[in-house]
Every structure is written in structure tokens, then in C-alpha cells.
Copies of this chain bind each other. A is one copy, B any other.
Amino acid sequence: MLMQMRVVTLTTDFGTVDGYVGAMKGVILSAAPGAVVVDLTHDIPRHDVNAGAFALAQAARYFPTGTIHVAVVDPGVGGERLDLVVEVHGQTFIGPDNGLLSLATRGPRAAHRIANAAFQRVPVSPTFHGRDVFAAAAGRIAAGALARDAGPVVPAILDLADNARRADGPGEAGVVVHVDVFGNLITSFEGRMLTPGTWTFEGPDLTAPLRVPAGRTYADVAPGELVTYAGSAGLVEIAVREGSAGARTGLRRGASLRATEPPA
């Protein structure tokens, strides 16, 4: 007999202190004893669908074909938003239809509503779809069920405002798409635009233009200094070596930026 080891990842804003995440793991392992449950994160800021979507998109692309990703940042649980299972690029994404899955599932999606009782723990708690719908569906699919049997096709899912649209030329307007835990500012500018020299970033949330040398990595500047580089997501980042560019500049996710290339 072939033992299928399906990887099931978890991304939530639950923290772990209450046992809610533990309950989800139990439901998955009860349905699919051979599943490999992997924590992505349970530290998404409460109800921050954008941050959850970003973390999931950052991580999911590196997982093998067949991976099942469960994501729950769900302030509208039990309300009118749908419960989704989405297949794209050979992976399966499960979570609420509030934009959380949208960044990770760009491409030719097949989306289904989770309606079939066999994909749920019945009765479903109206406040904990993470356990009774999303974990239950993940367990069922990890055990061999087909995602398309979860329920009717959903023609379109809710997409987050596409502030990750790639700006790839200097002078073009961009935004801060994420401020990471190190305080690095990840922007919507394509990393390939970064020619050598000192770039200037301006925007309404900056009191003065930022003049930042382009480098390859933090180590190209002295500790405490600003540097810009093509980051690991392929986007222009602005950082302070061994410090926080977020704290230094005061910029937050969504801040507008305009980039000017070094003088020739």
C-alpha cells in the first residue's frame, strides 16, 4: 500500500495559546493520519487579511505540488462570505473568500465553495470554521477526496486590491506592499529596475526625500545605514542594516512612493 504523505500547511491569526490551532491539527490528523502538518504562522496580526495573504503567497510557491494550504484570518466567520477550496498550480488552498487566498492563487484557478457535508464537521460552529470547515476539508482532501467534490464552482473569488501591481520603471508610482518583522520595506517596484548609484524615494508620508544607495545586501553599507536592493521576493526593498527602515522612515504598508534613479 502506498502511504501518501500530503503536506498540509497552516496560516492563522489565532496565536497558539488557546488550543484553537491544536484543535485544527487534531481534526486534520484524525481524517488523514499520514498528513504532514506544517505551521507557516499563527502570528498574523489579528484580522489583518492583507498580512495573511502576503505571508501565504510568500511561502506557498516553495512547497511541492500536491501541498494543501489552510489559511484562516476570518473576521467575517459565520457571515455571508463563502468557504473556499481553490486549486492552482497543482496546489490546493482552503480558507474564507475575503481576499486571504487571492495573492497566493494568481493564475488559472479552479474555485469551489465548501458545501458538501462530507467536507465538514457537522454541526459546524458558526464561530470556528477553521476547525469545522477548513481543517475538516483539508483532512478530507489529504485523505484522497477531490477538491472539486467539495461543492459548486465559484466563478470568481474576492481579490485584494492589487497594490502588488509591479511598477518597473523609475519615476513610476509605487507603494509599500509589506513591512516585515525586521522593519524592511518591501515595495511594489520590480527589483530589476535598480541600477547602481544613489536612488531617491519621495512620497506624501515622508517628511524629506530618502536618498538611498543601491546595493546587493545589507552588508554593502555600515550598520545603521539605509540601503536599497532587489529583495528575495524579486521586489525593491529599503532597509537599515541591523536596524529598522520602518521605524526610521515611519512608512507603513500602503504608503505611496515615487522612485528617481541616480543621475547619469
**A contact residues vs B (CB 8 Å cutoff):** 5, 7, 9, 11, 14-27, 29-30, 33-34, 36-47, 51, 54-64, 67, 75-80, 125-128, 131-132, 178, 180-182, 216-220, 229, 231-232, 237, 241-242
CB of A15 within 8 A of CB of B219, answer no
Partner of A33, one of B5, B46, B126, B220: B5
List 5 A-B residue pairs with CB atoms under 8 Å apart, sorted by A's residue number. A17-B181, A22-B62, A29-B36, A75-B218, A128-B232
CB of A127 within 8 A of CB of B17, answer no
Q: How many copies does the complex hold?
A: 3
CB of A64 within 8 A of CB of B219, answer no
- Nearest to A65 among chain B residues (CB) is B30
- Nearest to A178 among chain B residues (CB) is B18
CB of A59 within 8 A of CB of B7, answer no
CB of B26 within 8 A of CB of A64, answer yes
B contact residues around A64 at 8 Å (CB)? 26, 29-30, 33
Question: A29-B7, A62-B27 are known contacts. Are A19 and B55 too (CB-CB below 8 A)?
Answer: yes
| Complex CA distance for A42 and B77, rounded to whole angstroms | 26
Question: A216-B126, A217-B126 are known contacts. Are A182 and B30 too (CB-CB below 8 A)?
Answer: no
